[in-house]
Amino acid sequence: MGIRSQKIRLIALLRQFSRPDFSGNLYCTNFGSTMNAMKYFLIVYLLSGFIPEIAHAQNQSLTIVIKNVKNDVGNVAAALYHSEDEFMKKTWQSRSAPSQPGEMHFVFENVPAGDYAISVMHDANKNGEVDKNFMGIPKEGFGFSNDALGKFGPPAFKDAKFVIPDKNELVITLKYY
């Protein structure tokens, strides 16, 4: 919120709690005196400038450690989901990098408090999806937060869910079949 809109909100609040007296000065009806009202509105005005900073300070970084990357072929991609409704449908944030055998790290910045889940895949042929065999078993590496596994598909959101700010680093081990 910009300074201009904060000033407009402050003036609107002042008008809401004030009325002009006979001399044309504003007299605050709900605060007993003009001085008390000025103190109140000054405090509200100053705090309103800090609220976005406080909210931004609550956002944090989330580091994902991906273990068991099989080889350096293709890319490794991680998707961060912030609700059950969007899990495995709509990515909130994502990261991707060329595959490196062993362990890889991704960092998600400015993650606000809430419930999240992560999916990771080793996209060896760089086609943007996990390839499966004729029985539906993944041919490429995959993993989920909490190392959750589903039956005949991805796990439920509740199994892969973790909470920010309780966690700021997650370890996910890729599985290959």
Angle between helices 3-16 and 34-58 in degrees, nearest 10? 140
User: What pairing do the DSSP bridges indicate for beta strands 169-173 and 60-69?
Assistant: parallel
Strand stretches in the chain, DSSP E: 18-20, 26-28, 60-69, 75-81, 93-98, 102-111, 114-123, 142-144, 162-164, 169-173
Q: How many CB atoms lie within 10 A of CB 85?
A: 9
**pTM for the complete prediction?**
0.68
pLDDT-derived band at 55, boundaries 50, 70, 90: very low
| pLDDT value for 59 | 86
Picking from 63, 169, 74, the residue whose alpha carbon sits closest to that of residue 106 is 63
Our CA angle for 86, 175, 62, nearest 5°, is 50
| 92 has pLDDT over 90 | yes
Q: Which residues contact 85 (CB under 8 A, 6 or more apart)?
A: none
| 175 has pLDDT over 80 | yes
Q: Where are the domains of the chain?
A: 3-58, 60-173
CA 60, distance to chain mean position in Å, is 8
pLDDT digits 0-9 by tens, 64-78: 999 999 999 999 999
